[in-house]
Each structure stands twice: as C-alpha cells, then as structure tokens.
Amino acid sequence: MKVIEPSPRRQRTRRRLVEAAAEVFVAEGVQATSVEAVCTHAGFTRGAFYSNFDSKEQLFLAVLADQYERRAVRLQENSALLAPLLGSNEAPITLDATTKLIEEYFAPTGEEPAWFALETEFLLLAMRDPSIAPGYVDFMERFRGQLAQLVEPLLGAAGRRFTLPADHAVAVLGGVHERALTITAIAGPDAPEGLGELGWRLAELLFAITEPLPA
C-alpha cells in the first residue's frame, strides 16, 4: 500500500501547531491548555487542528517527539565534532580534560528552562493519564538508547569503556543531568548541583563507571 505524504502546506501547518503547543504548554501547563488556545497561538482554526490531530493528547505526543528529536539532533552534532578531538589524543584522557569536554558538549543553549518545564508537564500528564503513559515511556527508552549509541563510540575514542551495560550507565548519567536541569530551573545554574557544576560531576561519575580499554 502506497503511503501518501502530506502536502508541504499541511506539513507547515502541523509544524506550527506543534511549535505553538510547546510554547503554550510552557506558559499555561498541558492540562490547562485548550485546543482553542493552541489554535489561537498558532493562528489557525479548530478545523486546521483536527485535520492534523485527533486530540490534544495526540498533539502532546507530537510535541514530546519533537522536543526529544531536537535534543537528539543537537547531541549528534556535538558528538560529530567531539569524536575527532578525542581520537587525536595519544595520551590517556584526564579528569580535567573530560570535565572541559563535557562542559562544551552540554553548553547551555538558553532553551533549558523551557525544556525542563515541558518535561515536567509531560511527566505529570503521563502519570495522570494511563493512555499517555506507554507512549511517554517509549520515548524515554528510545532517547536513552540513542544516547547510549552516541556515548559508547565517544568513550572508545577516548580509550575507555563502560564497566556496566551502556543503557544502565546512560540512565545513571542522565539522572545527574536531569537533576542539574531541575536545580537550575529552581535556583539558577550556579546553585549547588546546577548546570554550572555539571561538567566535573559527570566527569567524576564517568571515571567511576568506566575503565581504560585493554591494550
């Protein structure tokens, strides 16, 4: 069966609805946001909305997918830049050098507060709506898998490897990153455990759960 691709105009409409929803979700919260509010913010009618989405919940999952895709693309771009630098080092990488590289890898973009707000909204809605929960968990697992695929080659280029399964290690590292986002959203990046400390905290943890590659 041939799959019919949506027209460019419909793709643009869908994209604008997703972008508008993300903005309104941050400002008002997912549950407090109505379809009408998203349509008004996007500059479209309810008809345009329902020609692209069956419900607000379906839109929610589209926003979730878009946000994770944005993060994944940025990390992929950073990884492509970092891999040659790691491969060019002949001496074993040091803790200080790792700290600096992590700081550059996760350099703030200014989008962190909005992402944290959206992620919190996503989690709350998934907890309250059993129909949403499986989709939310699936996105989280896929994103973790993408991170593992990015991090393992970088570690190899640096001459190290995980001492536990990669997906388990990424979950641990991700927990530190998520806490840094939480602290930063509440008290700013320079607060203890905020994004200002993320580089050395992740570097210490990386050295604790990795080992040098065998000679």
Task: Determine contact, residues 174/144, Cβ cutoff 8 Å.
Answer: yes
Fold of 1-53: Arc Repressor Mutant, subunit A (1.10.10)
Name the strand (E) or helix (H) holding 211.
strand 210-212
pLDDT in tens, 131-189: 888 878 887 888 888 888 888 888 988 889 999 999 899 999 989 988 998 888 888 88
pLDDT in tens, 44-99: 999 999 999 998 888 888 888 888 888 888 888 888 888 887 877 777 888 998 89
Q: What are the sequence ranges of the domains in the chain?
A: 1-53, 63-212
Distance from C-alpha of 207 to C-alpha of 199, rounded to nearest angstrom? 12
Nearest CA-CA partner of 150 in 215, 71, 66: 71
Q: What is the CATH number of domain 63-212?
A: 1.10.357
Q: Whole-model pTM?
A: 0.76
Task: Determine contact, residues 86/154, Cβ cutoff 8 Å.
Answer: yes
